[in-house]
Amino acid sequence: MNATAQRFLLLGLLPAFACRDDDMPASSGTDATATTSGSAGLTTGTGDGETTSSDPTAETEESPDSITTSSTTADPDTTTSDSDTDAPTTGGEQSMFCPEGPFAKTPLLSKTVVATVLPGTSTSVGVDGLIEGPVWFEGSLYVSHFWFSSSPHPSEILRYVDGVGFELAQVDSGTNGLAIDHEGMLIGGNQANGTISAYDLMGGITTVVEDFEGTRFNSPNDLAVRSDGTIYFSDPNYQGPQPMPQSITAVYRVAPDGTVVQFETSLEQPNGVTLSPMEDVLYVGFPGGIRRYDLMPDGSVVTPGTEFGRGLSNIDGMTVDCAGNLYATLFSEARIAVLDPEGTELGSVEVAPSLTNAAFGGPEGRTLFITAGNPEQGDSLYSVELEIPGIPY
């Protein structure tokens, strides 16, 4: 087992069955200049964009019969890269959160499964608010809770205690989406001050990404982190100040050296963000559906993205399992659409109204934890056991 895998095992982020030495790829984080989650005052980029492709279909997919993680690579003859060719590369390896596989052909025992409400999570959150950004961290499930008393909406981080309910883990967090960075730190989209921040629970808050071209972000929402430290995040204006600090809503990439690139500006109110287990595909959800983007080995994004899935709308949060299946929460439909790596819908997880986000956790990584609406619209935290383990945020 390499050092990265050992660190995540100790943090409770790897299921116990993933502990064999041959389960994990070698660590790729060898760049001495890579940004750590605790650094502040990072520089901003020019916003010139990402890798572009003249043929958005120039990509390869696994066959629908595959039961292992998909791996896609952009056609080098139709792409150009904005990155340094000497930069360290990563991606194309199994996620540090996943065992090696193979995995079951489907995560669902039937076309439709029903999630179960967890005790003590309805009344403990309080009315007139939402819970968001679930993450399985250090052996527990954490969520962001924000309420609509003012703008930007005040927020805190809660920890779920099995059989008891929620307890306060971080006051005044300002968070929406939560994630785990490449060093095992808890980070989140801070809608209160428009940053990406790192959280020492019940301790300090450290700014990781402060602004773009000298101006704060609107309302950082959801985020995902590659094993080399590259951060991808959405910036709608749902919980942000008015007028918007940034003139548009967009999706951003933060390189390991801290450079910020605004690579997607065509999606109105981008929301859920997640990576494939092989770290070579990025998914972004928005009210109109889902976009899929190939990633270059250094983490730069091949644009434009392509449509993923059919007939889906009002996408909020997203996560993936270790076989590459995508779980998209449909806010207004009270269900999660489960899509295979080709975009074919495998089935649904029925939950509750105001469905916001989902993350895998539990002892074997096969429990899908789901955040729903406030108690007046549906209980707050649900779970369902699935056949394939997944990513913890």
The residue with greater pLDDT, 241 or 56, is 241
At 282 the pLDDT is 98
Whether the pLDDT of residue 3 is over 50: the answer is no
pLDDT class for 371, splitting at 50, 70, 90? very high
Whether the pLDDT of residue 139 is over 70: the answer is yes
The residue with greater pLDDT, 393 or 373, is 393
Whether the pLDDT of residue 367 is over 50: the answer is yes
Cβ atoms 169, 144 nearer than 8 A: no
At 95 the pLDDT is 82
| Number of domains within the chain | 1
Tokens 């808050």, located at residue: 205
At 239 the pLDDT is 83
At 163 the pLDDT is 86
- The proportion of the chain whose per-residue pLDDT surpasses 70, expressed as a percent, equals 74
Q: How far apart are CA 64 and CA 72, in angstroms?
A: 14
Q: How far apart are CA 369 and CA 91, in angstroms?
A: 26
**Averaged pLDDT for residues 73-100:** 53
pTM for the whole structure? 0.81
At 41 the pLDDT is 33
At 226 the pLDDT is 97
Tokens of 380: 């707050």
Contacts of 376 (CB under 8 A, 6+ apart): 127
Q: How far apart are CA 158 and CA 263, in angstroms?
A: 32
pLDDT class for 45, splitting at 50, 70, 90? very low
Whether the pLDDT of residue 190 is over 60: the answer is yes
Phi, then psi, of 253 in degrees rounded to 5:
-120, 135
The residue with greater pLDDT, 60 or 102, is 102
The residue with greater pLDDT, 302 or 73, is 302
At 313 the pLDDT is 94
Cβ atoms 170, 156 nearer than 8 A: yes
99: containing domain: 1-393
Whether the pLDDT of residue 267 is over 60: the answer is yes
At 82 the pLDDT is 42
Q: How far apart are CA 332 and CA 314, in angstroms?
A: 7
At 30 the pLDDT is 33
Lowest mean pLDDT among 59-73, 80-94, 135-149, 308-322: 59-73
At 144 the pLDDT is 96
- Residue 261: which CATH number? 2.120.10.30
At 240 the pLDDT is 83
DSSP 96: T
Cβ atoms 333, 314 nearer than 8 A: yes
**Averaged pLDDT for residues 136-161:** 91
At 65 the pLDDT is 35
At 25 the pLDDT is 35
The mean predicted confidence, pLDDT, of the chain is 81
- The proportion of the chain whose per-residue pLDDT surpasses 90, expressed as a percent, equals 64
Whether the pLDDT of residue 38 is over 70: the answer is no
At 314 the pLDDT is 94
Whether the pLDDT of residue 112 is over 50: the answer is yes
**Averaged pLDDT for residues 196-212:** 95
Lowest mean pLDDT among 41-50, 163-172, 215-224, 311-320: 41-50
The residue with greater pLDDT, 203 or 72, is 203
Cβ atoms 359, 381 nearer than 8 A: no
Lowest mean pLDDT among 77-86, 327-336, 351-360, 374-383: 77-86
> Does an H or E element contain 195, and which?
strand 195-199
Tokens of 72: 């896609």
**Averaged pLDDT for residues 261-266:** 98
* Residues 283-310 pLDDT 10s: 999 999 999 999 999 999 999 999 999 9
